[in-house]
Amino acid sequence: MKRFFLFLLFLSAASSLRAEDGHQLWLRPQRAAPVKVVATGKNSLLLATARQELQQGWQGKPGASVALTLTKDKTIKYDGFRLGPTSVQAATEAGLLYGVYELLRRQQTGQPVQNDLLNPSYEHRLLNHWDNPDGSVERGYAGQSIFWRKDSALVTTSQDKTRWQEYARANASVGINGAVINNVNAAPQILSAEYLTRVKAIADVLRPYGVKTYLAVKFSSPVLLGGLKTADPLDPAVVKWWQGKTKEIYRLVPDFGGFLVKASSEGQPGPQDYGRTHADGANMLADAVRPHGGLVMWRAFVYSPNDKDRAKQAYNEFVPLDGKFRDNVIVQVKNGPIDFQPREPFSPLFGALKKTSVMPEFQITQEYLGHSIDLAFLAPMWEECLGSDTHQAGPGSTVARCTDGSVYPQKHTAMAGVANVGLDTNWTGHDFAQANWYAFGRLAWNNQLKSAQIADEWLKLTFGGPTAAADWNTQFLTPVKQLMLDSREAIVNYSMPLGLHHIMSATREHYGPGPWWAPPKMRADWTPRYYHQADSAGVGFNRTKTGSDAVSQYHEPLATQFNDPTTCPDEYLLWFHHLPWDFKMKSGNTLWNELCAHYDKGVQQVRQFQKVWDKAQPYVDAERFAVVQHKLRSQSGNAVQWKDACLLYFQQFSRMPIPADVEPPMNNLDAIIANDMRPRR
């Protein structure tokens, strides 16, 4: 009997770490205490969701009564709320729902609740899904699309609906209130009557969680879908076509959010095809959605093959248009001036447009940061961008404040993240990539949050819980949190340190090194050599006043600081300067030795991550432990590839020895290049 009891005890201890496949994200079910919910107002969809969440997840005093109250309190902004231990007050029902999620999060992570006022930094907090109607996901590393499927677009199954509901819930739990459900490289058929039926089905499932549906549209849709001769935004027939199409959408989805547009960019059609400006194009669409309360998010991601410096173009095209956009247009700007690289300085468009609403776009999917193989916690990268001081209106004009309405009045404020979600059981391919979805939502809600707090919350919710071991905090939380916080810098170190950028492999879909890549007829600005400019004289892109003069797009004192290699921060050195290999760094090292040290450090950091994770084994369920361990092993190999490839490649120009304290290359450059050039499946 005693033995049997011990056996039961053993079983229950083991089950506290039962295998988890990651599908529950940070919303793992908790045993809830009974709770009474008293809500004002009618029992709307959102309130029903809020009530259900409380009843499923209440960790407070058993039998407590929680009051959800709508109020006209003027200190509450957008969907913000005031939180007490057993009360949520908000101006909107969505605000009540967000308050409920915050209350439950505080309970689970052991954070106190006083009388807190929590207002979102941005009115619109959106995911952009680069999902195609055939079910593929551009730059997706977590399986096929959750929204679209080859051949059966029009059949919505109960399985689809369950997925969408889980997805909407995850979004709402971190404050995300909008989703653009198709690729910015938009297929015109998304606006066909058949596809709009599916859009309506999706919107109906997202609505009870306060998530609005948006569509990315192709600018030439009036021609490709409507059979018109032109898509000229000033042509009356085109204007009429978009108005009709917009009405059709709103009939199906009355709370439709609006359009996202990638135009006159990377081969996509746009107003410039007709001699019109971005403002002409955006305004025509803005007028179409305005009567219905819709928005247009117009992307500033533009560059042409003829420009001498791609980094300058978005600024050059958009600054002259400042003040020319309708007030329901938001210009969507990628965090850096090039393209979601592991590290870029902030885009100079932040702080340059003063009479136009501007929103930051981040990439949650890890296109340039190791796909869903390498572990990269991206909150530090976004925090770095949001905290960058543009100096537009004096010190303290951070990117965060230049986009949330604090520096310039903006009619609308928003933040977008390119989603990393797919049909994989754990949603994001890598268990730790879930943290980036989570972090994006949290930062869009509060652009002052610190990465450490976000990592802390996420780890507690995703791996902790009431059954966690007594020493879980010291043995798991502390070291794994540090691993997360160091992970992005490790990737910068082993791939593109000191301001290097865009030197990844093109044949392997931007995974791994490729500084040599330059096929004969390829446009120069799509090849790494354009960016690193390595030659016997040195390395780096001269963007100083004697070069492309991109530095002058920044306000003082930044322009002067970036222009001088002795004052330019090391992180951006080769972004702004072409410097000799023996250039003396602030550390006293030569540039070459410093470069070697960074690549080596990145490799060592990943090895350290492996050790941290191995030690975490007793504190993680076996399934997630093994998957992450396996991925770290692959990442370790990738880091060595990056280091070996870049050092051996650049050494051809520097002709300097790899310092003795740097791990010598184990790969051969010719072999790496031959392997990289081999066409992939």
Residues that bind ligand BDP (CB under 6 A): 138-139, 184-185, 262, 266, 301, 339-340, 367
Q: Are strands 116-118 and 178-180 parallel, antiparallel or unpaired?
A: unpaired
Task: Give how far the C-alpha of residue 203 lies from the chain's centroid of Cα atoms, to the nearest Å.
Answer: 22
Q: How many helices and strands (H and E) does the chain possess? A: 21, 13
Number of residues that this document lists for the chain: 681
The least distance separating ligand BDP from the CB of residue 220, rounded to whole angstroms, comes to 16
Q: Which of 365, 454, 330, 351 is nearest to 399 (CA)?
A: 351
In three-state secondary structure terms, 580 is coil
> Closest CB to ligand BDP among 344 and 489?
344
Task: Tell me how many degrees the CA angle 130-680-134 measures, rounded to the nearest 5.
Answer: 30
DSSP conformation letters of 181-247: -S-SS--GGGGSHHHHHHHHHHHHHHGGGTPEEEEEE-TTHHHHTT--S---TT-HHHHHHHHHHHH
Among the listed residues 123, 160, 367, 389, the single catalytic one is 367
> Closest CB to ligand BDP among 362 and 438?
362
Distance CA 309, CA 21 (A): 45
Residue 266 annotated as catalytic: yes
In this structure, are residues 359 and 333 in contact, taking their beta carbons and an 8 Å threshold? Answer: yes
> Closest CB to ligand BDP among 179 and 201?
179
Distance CA 642, CA 600 (A): 10
Q: CB within 8 A of 479, min separation 6: which ones?
A: 612, 615, 616
> Closest CB to ligand BDP among 302 and 568?
302
The least distance separating ligand BDP from the CB of residue 339, rounded to whole angstroms, comes to 5
The least distance separating ligand BDP from the CB of residue 180, rounded to whole angstroms, comes to 12
The least distance separating ligand BDP from the CB of residue 452, rounded to whole angstroms, comes to 28
The burial class, CB within 10 Å (0-12 / 13-18 / 19+), for 670 is exposed
Strand partners, 496: none
Half-sphere exposure of 74 (CA within 13 A, CB side): 0
Both structure tokens of 377: 């916690």
The least distance separating ligand BDP from the CB of residue 310, rounded to whole angstroms, comes to 12
> Closest CB to ligand BDP among 338 and 454?
338
Among the listed residues 21, 134, 248, 266, the single catalytic one is 266
- Within 498-623, strands assigned E span none
Task: Give how far the C-alpha of residue 100 lies from the chain's centroid of Cα atoms, to the nearest Å.
Answer: 25
The least distance separating ligand BDP from the CB of residue 178, rounded to whole angstroms, comes to 18
The least distance separating ligand BDP from the CB of residue 222, rounded to whole angstroms, comes to 21
Q: Which of 570, 578, 575 is nearest to 551 (CA)?
A: 575
Widest pairwise Cα distance in the chain:
87
The least distance separating ligand BDP from the CB of residue 139, rounded to whole angstroms, comes to 5
Q: CB within 8 A of 586, min separation 6: which ones?
A: 566, 570
Q: Are strands 414-418 and 81-84 parallel, antiparallel or unpaired?
A: unpaired
The least distance separating ligand BDP from the CB of residue 565, rounded to whole angstroms, comes to 28
> Closest CB to ligand BDP among 256 and 340?
340
> Closest CB to ligand BDP among 301 and 437?
301
Strand partners, 676: none
Distance CA 377, CA 367 (A): 13
End-to-end CA distance of the chain: 60
Q: Which of 439, 427, 458, 489 is nearest to 140 (CA)?
A: 427
In this structure, are residues 487 and 377 in contact, taking their beta carbons and an 8 Å threshold? Answer: yes
Among the listed residues 93, 339, 424, 456, the single catalytic one is 339
Q: Which of 378, 368, 386 is nearest to 454 (CA)?
A: 378
Give one word for 26, left, alpha or beta, with left for phi > 0 and alpha for psi -120 to 50: alpha
The least distance separating ligand BDP from the CB of residue 619, rounded to whole angstroms, comes to 37
CB-nearest residue to ligand BDP:
339
Residue 367 annotated as catalytic: yes
The least distance separating ligand BDP from the CB of residue 265, rounded to whole angstroms, comes to 7
In this structure, are residues 231 and 219 in contact, taking their beta carbons and an 8 Å threshold? Answer: yes
> Closest CB to ligand BDP among 349 and 662?
349
Distance CA 118, CA 259 (A): 29
> Closest CB to ligand BDP among 82 and 299?
299
> Closest CB to ligand BDP among 340 and 463?
340
In this structure, are residues 330 and 296 in contact, taking their beta carbons and an 8 Å threshold? Answer: yes
Distance CA 262, CA 254 (A): 24
Distance CA 490, CA 105 (A): 30
Which residue do the tokens 């008293």 mark? Answer: 38
Residue 102 annotated as catalytic: no
Which residue do the tokens 């003795």 mark? Answer: 660
- Residues annotated as catalytic are 266, 339, 367
